[in-house]
Amino acid sequence: MENCNRPWQNGIHATTDFLELFFENLLMNSNHDLKNRYLHVEFRHESAIQSANIKCPKCNNCTLEELAIINELIKNPSITQKDLATIIGKSERTIKTRTVEMQDKGLICRENGKRNGKWKVLVNI
Protein backbone atom coordinates (compact mmCIF):
# COMPACT_ATOMS: atom_id res chain seq x y z
CA MET A 1 0.00 0.00 0.00
CA GLU A 2 2.96 2.30 0.50
CA ASN A 3 3.51 2.70 -3.26
CA CYS A 4 -0.12 3.64 -3.96
CA ASN A 5 0.69 7.27 -3.24
CA ARG A 6 3.62 7.17 -5.69
CA PRO A 7 2.24 5.79 -8.95
CA TRP A 8 5.39 6.70 -10.95
CA GLN A 9 7.27 4.07 -8.92
CA ASN A 10 4.85 1.44 -10.26
CA GLY A 11 5.54 2.46 -13.86
CA ILE A 12 2.41 4.61 -14.07
CA HIS A 13 2.93 7.98 -15.68
CA ALA A 14 1.10 10.56 -17.74
CA THR A 15 1.29 10.13 -21.49
CA THR A 16 -0.08 12.01 -24.48
CA ASP A 17 0.34 9.16 -26.97
CA PHE A 18 -3.38 8.55 -27.51
CA LEU A 19 -4.11 12.28 -27.82
CA GLU A 20 -1.32 12.69 -30.37
CA LEU A 21 -2.80 9.89 -32.47
CA PHE A 22 -6.30 11.35 -32.13
CA PHE A 23 -5.28 14.88 -33.11
CA GLU A 24 -3.09 13.62 -35.93
CA ASN A 25 -6.18 11.83 -37.31
CA LEU A 26 -8.29 14.94 -36.83
CA LEU A 27 -5.94 17.63 -38.10
CA MET A 28 -3.69 15.83 -40.54
CA ASN A 29 -6.14 13.31 -42.00
CA SER A 30 -4.10 10.35 -40.75
CA ASN A 31 -5.77 7.02 -40.24
CA HIS A 32 -4.37 5.69 -36.95
CA ASP A 33 -6.32 2.88 -35.36
CA LEU A 34 -7.74 4.23 -32.07
CA LYS A 35 -8.82 1.57 -29.60
CA ASN A 36 -9.78 1.68 -25.94
CA ARG A 37 -6.87 -0.58 -25.02
CA TYR A 38 -4.47 2.18 -26.10
CA LEU A 39 -5.72 4.16 -23.09
CA HIS A 40 -4.77 1.44 -20.62
CA VAL A 41 -1.68 1.97 -18.50
CA GLU A 42 -0.16 -1.43 -19.29
CA PHE A 43 -0.58 -1.31 -23.09
CA ARG A 44 2.85 -1.33 -24.77
CA HIS A 45 2.48 -1.59 -28.52
CA GLU A 46 5.20 0.66 -29.92
CA SER A 47 3.72 0.86 -33.43
CA ALA A 48 0.65 2.56 -31.93
CA ILE A 49 2.75 5.35 -30.44
CA GLN A 50 3.53 7.86 -33.14
CA SER A 51 4.17 11.54 -32.97
CA ALA A 52 4.03 14.31 -35.53
CA ASN A 53 7.62 15.05 -34.45
CA ILE A 54 8.84 11.84 -36.11
CA LYS A 55 7.39 12.79 -39.48
CA CYS A 56 8.26 16.46 -39.29
CA PRO A 57 11.59 17.10 -37.53
CA LYS A 58 11.25 20.86 -37.99
CA CYS A 59 7.91 20.77 -36.14
CA ASN A 60 9.35 19.70 -32.80
CA ASN A 61 7.74 22.72 -31.22
CA CYS A 62 4.71 23.09 -33.51
CA THR A 63 1.40 23.74 -31.86
CA LEU A 64 -1.79 22.05 -32.97
CA GLU A 65 -2.89 25.37 -34.49
CA GLU A 66 0.28 25.50 -36.57
CA LEU A 67 -0.18 21.92 -37.75
CA ALA A 68 -3.77 22.69 -38.73
CA ILE A 69 -2.62 25.77 -40.66
CA ILE A 70 0.10 23.78 -42.44
CA ASN A 71 -2.43 21.10 -43.37
CA GLU A 72 -4.79 23.68 -44.91
CA LEU A 73 -1.95 25.46 -46.74
CA ILE A 74 -0.92 22.16 -48.30
CA LYS A 75 -4.49 21.64 -49.52
CA ASN A 76 -4.85 25.16 -50.89
CA PRO A 77 -1.68 27.32 -51.19
CA SER A 78 -3.63 30.34 -52.45
CA ILE A 79 -6.05 30.42 -49.47
CA THR A 80 -6.61 33.78 -47.82
CA GLN A 81 -6.07 34.35 -44.13
CA LYS A 82 -9.77 35.15 -43.79
CA ASP A 83 -10.77 31.79 -45.32
CA LEU A 84 -8.11 30.03 -43.26
CA ALA A 85 -9.56 31.55 -40.08
CA THR A 86 -13.04 30.34 -41.02
CA ILE A 87 -11.89 26.79 -41.75
CA ILE A 88 -9.77 26.43 -38.61
CA GLY A 89 -12.25 28.21 -36.37
CA LYS A 90 -9.94 30.97 -35.13
CA SER A 91 -10.09 34.72 -35.51
CA GLU A 92 -8.47 36.37 -38.49
CA ARG A 93 -6.15 38.22 -36.11
CA THR A 94 -4.98 34.92 -34.60
CA ILE A 95 -4.27 33.51 -38.07
CA LYS A 96 -2.29 36.64 -39.02
CA THR A 97 -0.24 36.34 -35.83
CA ARG A 98 0.38 32.60 -36.31
CA THR A 99 1.41 32.94 -39.96
CA VAL A 100 3.96 35.62 -39.05
CA GLU A 101 5.32 33.41 -36.26
CA MET A 102 5.45 30.42 -38.61
CA GLN A 103 7.34 32.45 -41.20
CA ASP A 104 9.84 33.46 -38.51
CA LYS A 105 10.25 29.79 -37.55
CA GLY A 106 10.91 28.88 -41.18
CA LEU A 107 7.84 26.66 -41.51
CA ILE A 108 6.08 28.61 -44.27
CA CYS A 109 6.72 31.54 -46.58
CA ARG A 110 4.70 33.77 -48.90
CA GLU A 111 5.61 33.87 -52.59
CA ASN A 112 4.70 36.58 -55.13
CA GLY A 113 3.40 39.20 -52.74
CA LYS A 114 0.44 39.69 -50.46
CA ARG A 115 -2.46 40.09 -52.86
CA ASN A 116 -1.73 37.58 -55.63
CA GLY A 117 0.74 35.40 -53.81
CA LYS A 118 0.64 31.82 -52.60
CA TRP A 119 1.74 30.12 -49.42
CA LYS A 120 4.64 27.72 -49.59
CA VAL A 121 5.05 25.09 -46.86
CA LEU A 122 8.77 24.62 -46.12
CA VAL A 123 8.45 21.44 -44.04
CA ASN A 124 7.52 17.93 -45.08
CA ILE A 125 4.61 16.44 -43.21
Write out the chain's pLDDT in tens, 125 residues: 444 455 545 555 667 777 888 888 888 888 888 877 666 555 455 544 444 444 455 555 678 888 899 999 999 999 999 999 999 999 999 999 999 999 998 899 999 887 788 999 988 76
CATH class of 61-125: mainly alpha
Domain ranges of the chain: 15-50, 61-125
- In the 3-class helix/strand/coil scheme, how is the chain assigned residue by residue? CHHHHCHHHHCCCCCCHHHHHHHHHHHHCCCCCCCHHHHCCCCCCHHHCCCHHHHCHHHCCCCHHHHHHHHHHHHCCCCCHHHHHHHHCCCHHHHHHHHHHHHHHCCEEEECCCCCCEEEECCCC
